[in-house]
């Protein structure tokens, strides 16, 4: 799939077309502005149909009329968007659920479903630069899940005894709402959840309104303020005790804990302010309005860094302290790397997971966990085997994306860089990364370039063999470390 047209490229193309028009065929000018279909994806080689072309989503309003666990329920997504080309039709990413009425600017639109693409043809074409509103009514199916053979395992809707949480990574947001489901595409989101009075509803951002909606039902409205990518969206309904707090830097804290687990998780739950201070020391100010832990009453195998509200399986907070803190710090670090600094393409995932694993391990070593150097030596030993089985850190394929190479194998790249440039320079690189790209999407080339600028030397010759290729380079400062043959 092709990328959306680059603005400069479009101008060049337009200029060329205009020149040709003048010289050859006067009627071709009208052809130039002829509306064409928006692309079905943004051109990510690993997920070619993720995201969509031809328009920019400016704001989502998501309305969920929650009923009961496992029960289908009415939902409406309203998207305010701007056409970035003359559009005859455009796509949304949407999987499963039952589609209802779709309108564009209030007029009924034609729809067609093609796999996970919802193709919408408005009654009239949309000229370039025009703002428009898409409204999609549907019946949500909260039993939808998909599976991956890597660290993700199950994603989509995750049932709880009295409601749901969601696990949208990597491309499961489309099972929750019609979206532009790519990590680089982020949109400010207002979420309205209506549920029975005895339930609590949660989403990203700040609770801006809570009011009676119908007899026995309450509507909760959240505003993300900062834009959210599909894979970092959260929607939780169920019985929760909300525990409010404030970190030393003023960050508002709100944890959501199932009532029967409040006492049992307290010893770890209460450590977030300490974790926030530790990460802030290294990566700069916390990037969002608030933070909280959403403890899920499920057997979910893994946690997820949903923006401003990390989803943690209850098992993560019911075991030993070292593992609990590792999981908590990992998801918290993601708020800076992965959430605030988003990845540009899925092949940049090493930047998100490698950073989270690296800092999780550094914190753990300082707080009773395993020795970092020993862990890195072990990751080094296996690195050629991981390269063979899962690609080099920045060379994943879709099926091996969330394999161990993206975690321990990528933490090793940061360890190698720190050893190469020294701890002080490495700390400056990291702080520059989360500062310069705060709230933006950035990729592997951006990291190499920034690291080179901060270190005042070209680090591409050092980092390229670490990130690409079949063979693991020598570890700086550790000539005795060996790699097992693949
Ligand atoms: Zn992670």
392 by DSSP, 3-state: which? coil
Q: What pLDDT is stored for residue 23 in this prediction?
A: 38
Domain ranges of the chain: 7-32, 36-228, 240-319, 342-467
Classify strands 293-296 and 310-313 as parallel, antiparallel or unpaired. Answer: parallel
H/E stretch holding 7: helix 7-23
Distance from Cα 152 to the centre of ligand 1, integer Å: 10
Triad 232, 233, 237: Cα angle to 5°: 135
Distance from Cα 353 to the centre of ligand 1, integer Å: 5
State both tokens at 347.
């092949």
Q: What pLDDT is stored for residue 461 in this prediction?
A: 98
Distance from Cα 150 to the centre of ligand 1, integer Å: 13
CATH topology of domain 36-228: Immunoglobulin-like (2.60.40)
Distance from Cα 184 to the centre of ligand 1, integer Å: 17
Torsion angle defined by CA atoms of residues 435, 437, 439 and 441, in that order, rounded to the nearest 10 degrees: -160
H/E stretch holding 455: helix 444-455
Are 91 and 110 in contact by the 8 Å Cβ rule? The answer is no
Give the number of C-alpha atoms closer than 13 A to the C-alpha of residue 180, restricted to the C-beta side: 31
Q: What pTM does this model have? A: 0.93
CA distance 264 to 287: 29
Q: What pLDDT is stored for residue 157 in this prediction?
A: 98
Distance from Cα 356 to the centre of ligand 1, integer Å: 6
Distance from Cα 151 to the centre of ligand 1, integer Å: 9
**DSSP secondary structure string for all residues of 241-297:** EEEEEE-TT--EEEEEE-GGGHHHHHHHHTTHHHHHHHHHHHH-S--SSEE-EEEES
For the chain, first and last CA: distance in Å? 34
Homologous superfamily in CATH for domain 342-467 = Neutral Protease Domain 2 (1.10.390.10)
Q: Helices in 344-395 by DSSP H: which ranges?
A: 349-366, 372-390
Distance from Cα 328 to the centre of ligand 1, integer Å: 10
φ/ψ of 191, rounded to 5, equals: -125, 125
Distance from Cα 305 to the centre of ligand 1, integer Å: 7
Are 446 and 434 in contact by the 8 Å Cβ rule? The answer is no
Q: What pLDDT is stored for residue 299 in this prediction?
A: 86
Distance from Cα 90 to the centre of ligand 1, integer Å: 32
Contacts of 131 (CB under 8 A, 6+ apart): 58, 80, 81, 82
Distance from Cα 27 to the centre of ligand 1, integer Å: 54
CA distance 245 to 402: 33
State both tokens at 38.
């928006």
For 442: left if phi > 0, alpha if psi spans -120 to 50, otherwise beta; the answer is beta
State both tokens at 349.
């995932």
CA distance 50 to 35: 22
Q: What is the mean pLDDT of each run of 10 residues along the chain (486 residues)?
A: 39 39 41 86 98 98 98 98 98 98 98 98 97 98 97 96 98 98 98 98 98 97 96 98 96 98 98 98 97 94 96 96 98 98 98 98 98 98 98 98 98 98 98 98 98 98 98 97 97
CA distance 387 to 410: 11
DSSP letter (8 states) at residue 179: B
Distance from Cα 337 to the centre of ligand 1, integer Å: 9
Q: Is the peptide bond before 170 cis (omega within 30 degrees of 0)?
A: yes
φ/ψ of 77, rounded to 5, equals: -110, 130
State both tokens at 267.
């010893």
Distance from Cα 394 to the centre of ligand 1, integer Å: 16
Distance from Cα 410 to the centre of ligand 1, integer Å: 12
Distance from Cα 156 to the centre of ligand 1, integer Å: 17
Distance from Cα 61 to the centre of ligand 1, integer Å: 27
**Burial code of 347-358, b = ≥16 C-beta within 10 A, e = fewer?**
bbbbbbbbbbbb
- β-bridge mates for residue 287, sequence order: none
Q: Identify the CATH number of the domain defined by range 240-319.
A: 3.30.2010.30
């Amino acid at each position: 799939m092709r990328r959306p047209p680059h603005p400069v490229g479009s101008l060049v193309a337009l200029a060329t077309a205009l020149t040709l028009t003048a010289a050859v065929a006067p009627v071709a000018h009208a052809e130039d502005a002829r509306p064409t279909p928006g692309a079905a994806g943004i051109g990510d080689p690993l997920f070619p149909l993720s995201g969509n072309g031809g328009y920019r989503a400016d704001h989502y309003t998501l309305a969920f009329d929650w009923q009961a666990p496992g029960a289908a329920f009415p939902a409406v997504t309203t998207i305010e968007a701007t056409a970035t080309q003359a559009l005859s039709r455009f796509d949304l990413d949407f999987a499963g659920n039952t589609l209802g009425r779709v309108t564009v600017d209030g007029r009924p639109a034609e729809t067609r479903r093609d796999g996970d693409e919802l193709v919408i043809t408005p009654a009239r074409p949309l000229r370039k630069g025009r703002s428009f509103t898409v409204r999609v009514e549907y019946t949500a199916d909260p039993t939808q899940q998909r599976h991956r053979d890597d660290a993700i395992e199950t994603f989509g809707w995750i049932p709880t005894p009295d409601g749901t949480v969601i696990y949208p990574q990597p491309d499961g947001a489309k099972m929750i709402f019609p979206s532009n489901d790519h990590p680089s595409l982020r949109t400010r989101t207002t979420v309205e959840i209506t549920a029975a009075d005895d339930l609590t509803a949660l989403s990203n951002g700040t609770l801006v309104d809570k009011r009676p909606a119908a007899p026995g039902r309450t509507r909760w409205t959240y505003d993300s303020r900062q834009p959210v990518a599909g894979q970092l969206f959260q929607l939780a309904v169920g019985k929760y005790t909300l525990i409010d707090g404030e970190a030393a830097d003023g960050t508002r804290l709100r944890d959501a804990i199932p009532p029967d687990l409040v006492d049992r998780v307290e010893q770890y739950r209460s450590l977030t302010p300490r974790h926030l201070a530790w990460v802030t020391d290294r990566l700069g100010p916390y990037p969002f309005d608030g933070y909280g832990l959403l403890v899920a009453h499920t057997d979910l195998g893994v946690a997820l860094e949903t923006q401003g509200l990390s989803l943690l399986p209850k098992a993560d907070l019911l075991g030993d302290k070292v593992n609990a803190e590792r999981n908590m710090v990992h998801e918290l670090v993601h708020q800076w790397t992965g959430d605030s600094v988003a990845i540009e393409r899925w092949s940049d995932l090493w930047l998100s997971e490698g950073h989270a694993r690296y800092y999780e391990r550094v914190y753990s070593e300082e707080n009773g966990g395993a020795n970092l150097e020993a862990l890195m030596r072990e990751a080094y030993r296996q690195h050629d085997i991981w390269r063979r089985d899962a690609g080099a850190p920045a060379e994943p394929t879709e099926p091996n994306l969330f394999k161990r190479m993206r975690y321990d194998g990528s933490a090793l790249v940061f360890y190698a860089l720190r050893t190469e440039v020294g701890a002080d320079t490495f700390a400056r690189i990291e702080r520059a990364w989360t500062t310069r790209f705060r709230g933006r999407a950035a990729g592997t080339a951006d990291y190499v370039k920034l690291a080179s600028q901060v270190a005042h030397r070209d680090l591409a010759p050092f980092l390229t063999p670490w990130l690409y290729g079949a063979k693991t380079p020598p570890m700086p400062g550790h000539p005795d470390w060996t790699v097992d043959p693949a």
